[in-house]
Amino acid sequence: MNQNPYDQLKEIRSLMERSTRFVSLSGWTGVMAGVYSLIGASAAYYVIFKMNFPADDLPQRAEKYDPGRAVNYNYSHGLDDLLSDKNLLLAGIAILVILFSAGTALYQSSVKARMQGVRLWNSTTRRLFVQLIIPLAAGGIFCIALLFYGNAGLIAPAMLVFYGLALLNGSKYTLKEFHSLALCEIALGLISLFFIGYGLYFWAIGFGILHIIYGILMQKRYK
């Protein structure tokens, strides 16, 4: 082999990186996910603070949607409350944000993977997916339970913390920036625990602003 040792070592290192980390990620995915989140948060703001839900006005139910109440021990809340019009609307918004973000990620990554000449679905992406999905699924069920017991105020902190933990878990299989993004999300979620009632704003910062900042950062760095 006519390669000098420097080039050889460089190639060895690059192969070790490429075979363990999923790098076909575009910064634009982050920016777009952030934009969808901000639109979703605005829609949720409208639903929570501007729309009128007759059920909320009944005296025995009025306090339940008070976002300032972190813990509501009235366990008579149940399926009816979980599936109230307001919750279904908010869940619909959340699902739309997730679908659009996932769709964008899938599209952008497949374009980038093709450019780099690798398959999108290989052992690295499989590993990354498993690492992400377990904390995310746990977080999803956790949030449904919170809603079930009428603790809407804890949902934004829980989403941020679980999302951050999922990213932290997956960060060793993808770009290293995910590690610090994960820490930011967790910190933000923990801080928001002490500002119940402002969950939506924290949510918009964590899922909107942070994604846009990191997206731009990664777009600049990895082009």
Interacting residue ranges for another protein, rule: CB under 8 A: 1, 3, 5-6, 8-9, 11-13, 15-16, 18-20, 117-119, 122-123
- The residues pairing with 22 across neighbouring beta strands, listed in sequence order, are 174
Tokens coding 99 = 């679908």
Rounded to an integer, what distance in angstroms lies between the CA atom of residue 86 and that of residue 125? 36
Which helix (H) or strand (E) segment is 88 a member of?
helix 85-116
Burial of 51 (0-12, 13-18, 19+ CB in 10 A): exposed
- The residues pairing with 174 across neighbouring beta strands, listed in sequence order, are 22
State the DSSP code for 197.
T
Closest CA to 22 of 114, 127, 98, 111: 127
Closest CA to 214 of 184, 169, 173: 184
Q: Closer to another protein at the Cβ: 74 or 116?
A: 116
Q: Closer to another protein at the Cβ: 18 or 221?
A: 18
Q: Closer to another protein at the Cβ: 115 or 145?
A: 115
Q: Closer to another protein at the Cβ: 7 or 85?
A: 7
Q: Closer to another protein at the Cβ: 126 or 221?
A: 126
Q: How far is the CB of 194 from another protein (least distance, A)?
A: 41
